[in-house]
Amino acid sequence: MFLVELGLLFLGLSLLGLLSRRLGLSPIPFILVAALALGEGGAVPLSTAAPFVESAAEIGVVLLLLTLGLEFSATELFASLRRHGPSGLVDLALNAPPGFIAGLIIGLPWPGAMALAGITWISSSGIVARLLSDLGRLANRETPAVLSVLVLEDIAMALFLPLLVVALAGGGPAQAVTGVALALGAVLLVLVSAHRHGHRLGRLLAHPDDEQVLLRLFGLTLLVAGLAQAVGASAAVGAFLVGIAVPASLADRARAILGPLRDLFAATFFVSFGLATDPSAVLPVLPVVLVLALVTTVTKIGTGWFAARRDGVATPGRLRAGTALVARGEFSIIIAGLAVAAGLGEVGPVATGYVLVLAVVGPVLARFVEPISSRLLAPRTRASPTPRSVC
């Protein structure tokens, strides 16, 4: 029965993927809804495949963070920090407090509120990057600002996750400071050494055979992630660091090789998260979720507006940047997963509801702001292009 259940599960995921692409949305909310139906208290509970899904989910998180690290080079991280550091701070200051306050209001202990702050803070790199490409906005002037905010959020995640892990484990401020100092040290060390000696790791991992690259990189990542977990940091951060350390020359190939594996395990991770959430618990928190979604939609638009304005982009572009950032997805679920694993089961339904709403609303908003803003805000007069003598 195990294989049959798993086979049906993946076939189901394939159909959901088709449906979501047809609608121009991310598959994440669809997977979550389906998993809610399969989990405890759901319509057709999954039985024999559940233990596998749980362990595969752990690998899913590791692979999500590894490929995230592979996306960015140290140069890009430093350039984003220099250019958009203030945007990153505005992002944190606008988007984390609503989650924290909402967490305290619904009676979560402060580590739970902190998890919720992370859930509302971090946009979904996956959804946003796909959206920019689908809408043909890669060449737009506001796009560097949007991508910089995403990069800064990703690097902030590497510091936030260890802090959260310490807080969830009930550690005091001293442990929290140590945890973050360690994480910060590790991130800086990896960034600097990747910059200087990245090609050595590249030589260690590189091989003409794809299978060798896959096994070496996957093995190394699981090893580092496991060690990071053993010393009380987060496995996800270990994986992220491995991703950053891989030199750009190998990163493109590594992404292509790991892509299908990542898709498979990441989907399983979303399923596992949905399975662990009781669908009947989502309904009572829906009012909180909707208010939180509304508030953090506005604050994210504010973030994008601020970042795009720093790049000298005009109003329609600022609105495009803001709405592009609204979508929350995989990272919110990863953060919620940590909280649920630490025994704060109440975070699960809130995060599920929240991601369900914003993973759908974000892309829809980003699509529809374009015709509206250009109609309302574009200048009436045509700018006549001035010929410029070059020399």
Partner 1 sequence: MSADCGGPTSRRGFREPLPHERTRQTICHDDAVDLVETLLPGVGIRYELTTRAGLLLGIVVQRAGAVQVVVYDQHDPDRARGVFHLEPEEAEAVAEILGAPRLTQRFADLSREVPGLRSARIALRAGSPFDGRPLGETRARTLTGCSIVAVVRDADIITSPEPPEVLHAGDVLVAIGSQQGLEQLDTLLSGPS
Helices (H) and strands (E) counted in the chain, each on its own, are 16, 0
Q: Which residues of 282-293 are buried (b: 16+ CB within 10 A; e: fewer)?
A: beebeebbeebb
Q: Report the site for partner 1 in 337-356 (rule: CB under 8 A).
A: none
Window contacting partner 1 (CB under 8 A); options: 17-25, 91-99, 101-109, 382-390: 382-390
Q: Minimum distance between the CB of residue 265 and partner 1, rounded to whole angstroms?
A: 21
Residue 367 as a binder of partner 1 (CB under 8 A): the answer is: no
What count of other Cβ atoms lies within 10 Å of the Cβ of residue 138?
10
Residue 208 as a binder of partner 1 (CB under 8 A): the answer is: no
Identity of the residue, 15 or 252, whose beta carbon is nearer to partner 1 in the bound complex? 252
Residue 203 as a binder of partner 1 (CB under 8 A): the answer is: yes
Q: How far apart are CA 368 and CA 138, in angstroms?
A: 17
Window contacting partner 1 (CB under 8 A); options: 52-60, 68-76, 176-184, 332-340: 68-76
* Half-sphere CA count of 184, side-chain side, radius 13 A: 7
Q: Who contacts 228 (Cβ-Cβ below 8 Å, separation ≥6)?
A: 234, 235, 237, 238, 241
The encoded tokens of residue 104 equal 């305290």
Residue 374 as a binder of partner 1 (CB under 8 A): the answer is: yes
Q: How far apart are CA 159 and CA 151, in angstroms?
A: 13
Amino acid at 57: A
Whether 327 contacts 362, CB under 8 Å:
yes
Residue 323 as a binder of partner 1 (CB under 8 A): the answer is: no
Identity of the residue, 42 or 202, whose beta carbon is nearer to partner 1 in the bound complex? 202
Residue 125 as a binder of partner 1 (CB under 8 A): the answer is: yes
Residue 384 as a binder of partner 1 (CB under 8 A): the answer is: yes
Whether 245 contacts 73, CB under 8 Å:
no
Among 314, 345, 364, 367, binds partner 1 (CB under 8 A): 314
Identity of the residue, 260 or 387, whose beta carbon is nearer to partner 1 in the bound complex? 387
Among 72, 218, 269, 273, binds partner 1 (CB under 8 A): 72
Q: Who contacts 262 (Cβ-Cβ below 8 Å, separation ≥6)?
A: 60, 63, 64, 66, 67
- Sign, CA torsion 184/186/128/274: negative
Residue 213 as a binder of partner 1 (CB under 8 A): the answer is: no
- The binding track of 129-168 with respect to partner 1, each residue x by CB under 8 A or -, is x--x---xxxxxxxxx--xx-xx-----------------
- Cα–Cα–Cα angle for 112, 116, 118, rounded to 5 degrees: 115
Best CA proximity match to 32, nearest among 279, 327, 260: 279
Amino acid at 279: P
Residue 263 as a binder of partner 1 (CB under 8 A): the answer is: no
Among 262, 300, 320, 328, binds partner 1 (CB under 8 A): 320
Identity of the residue, 231 or 389, whose beta carbon is nearer to partner 1 in the bound complex? 389
Residue 260 as a binder of partner 1 (CB under 8 A): the answer is: no
- How many residues bind partner 1 (CB under 8 A)? The answer is 56
Identity of the residue, 260 or 379, whose beta carbon is nearer to partner 1 in the bound complex? 379
Residue 315 as a binder of partner 1 (CB under 8 A): the answer is: yes
Rounded to a whole number, what is the largest CA-CA distance in the chain?
Answer: 74
Q: How far apart are CA 180 and CA 268, in angstroms?
A: 29
Q: Minimum distance between the CB of residue 140 and partner 1, rounded to whole angstroms?
A: 5
CA 380 remoteness from chain centre: 39
Window contacting partner 1 (CB under 8 A); options: 223-231, 247-255, 258-266, 358-366: 247-255
Q: Minimum distance between the CB of residue 60 and partner 1, rounded to whole angstroms?
A: 20
Whether 373 contacts 315, CB under 8 Å:
yes
Q: Minimum distance between the CB of residue 129 and partner 1, rounded to whole angstroms?
A: 7
Q: Report the site for partner 1 in 76-95 (rule: CB under 8 A).
A: 76-77, 79-80, 82-83
Q: How far apart are CA 162 and CA 184, in angstroms?
A: 10
User: Which residues contact partner 1 (rule: CB under 8 A)?
Assistant: 71-72, 75-77, 79-80, 82-83, 125, 129, 132, 136-144, 147-148, 150-151, 198-199, 202-203, 247, 249, 252, 256, 309-317, 320, 374, 378-379, 382-391
